[in-house]
Amino acid sequence: MPAPLQQLRHPLLDQQNVELWVKREDLLHPALPGNKWRKLKYNLQEAKRQQKSTLLTFGGAYSNHIAAVAAAGEEFGFRTIGMIRGEEHLPLNPTLRFAISKGMELHYLSREVYRQKDAPDFLQQLSGQFQEPFILPEGGTNMLAVKGCTEIVTDIDMKYDYICCASGTGGTLAGIIAGLKGEKQVLGFPALKGGAFLRPEIEQLLQNYSGRHFDNWELITNYHFGGYAKVKPELLTFMQQFRERHQVTLEPVYTGKMMFGVFDLVAKGFFPEGARIIAVHTGGLQGNAGFRERLGLEV
Ligand SMILES: *Cc1c(COP(=O)(O)O)cnc(C)c1O
Q: What is the pLDDT of residues 243-255, one digit of tens each?
A: 999 999 999 999 9
Atom of ligand 1 at shortest range from CA of 166: 10
Q: How far is the CA of 134 from the centre of ligand 1 (A)?
A: 21
Atom of ligand 1 at shortest range from CA of 26: 13
Per-residue model confidence (pLDDT) at position 25: 96
Q: Is 60 exposed, middle or buried (0-12, 13-18, 19+ CB in 10 A)?
A: middle
The end-to-end CA distance of the chain, in Å, is 28
- C-alpha to C-alpha distance for 71 and 33, rounded to whole angstroms: 10
Amino acid letter for position 265: L
Per-residue model confidence (pLDDT) at position 201: 97
Q: Which residues pair with 278 in a beta bridge?
A: 21, 163
Q: What is the pLDDT of residues 13-23, one digit of tens each?
A: 999 999 999 99
Which residue has the CA at smallest separation from atom 13 of ligand 1?
284
Sketch the domain layout of the chain as residue ranges: 5-30+143-295, 35-140
- Report the mean per-residue pLDDT for the chain: 96
* Of 22, 24, 28, 35, best ligand 1 pocket probe by most atoms within 8 Å of the beta carbon: 35
* Fold observed for domain 5-30+143-295: Rossmann fold (3.40.50)
Q: What is the pLDDT of residues 160-185, one digit of tens each?
A: 999 999 999 999 999 999 999 999 99
Which residue has the CA at smallest separation from atom 15 of ligand 1?
284
Q: What is the pLDDT of residues 100-114, one digit of tens each?
A: 999 999 999 999 999
Q: What number is the average pLDDT over the span 208-212?
A: 96
* Of 57, 65, 172, best ligand 1 pocket probe by most atoms within 8 Å of the beta carbon: 172
Percent of the chain surpassing pLDDT 70? 99
- C-alpha to C-alpha distance for 257 and 40, rounded to whole angstroms: 24
At 291, is the pLDDT very low, low, confident or very high (cuts 50, 70, 90)?
confident
Q: How far is the CA of 15 from the centre of ligand 1 (A)?
A: 31
Beta strands (DSSP E) in 25-71 are: 54-59
Question: Would you tell me how many other CB atoms lie within 10 Å of the CB of residue 249?
Answer: 16
Atom of ligand 1 at shortest range from CA of 141: 7
Q: With beta carbons less than 8 A apart as the criterion, state whether 220 and 185 touch.
A: no
Q: What is the domain class of 35-140 according to CATH? A: alpha beta
DSSP H or E run through 189: strand 185-190
Q: Do domains 5-30+143-295 and 35-140 have the same CATH topology?
A: yes
Pocket of ligand 1, beta carbon within 6 A: 34-36, 64, 139, 141, 166-173, 254-255, 282-284
Q: What number is the average pLDDT over the span 265-277?
A: 98
Per-residue model confidence (pLDDT) at position 231: 86
**What's the half-sphere exposure (Cβ side, CA atoms, 13 Å) at 41?**
16
Atom of ligand 1 at shortest range from CA of 165: 10
Q: What is the pLDDT of residues 59-103, one digit of tens each?
A: 999 999 999 999 999 999 999 999 999 999 999 999 999 999 999
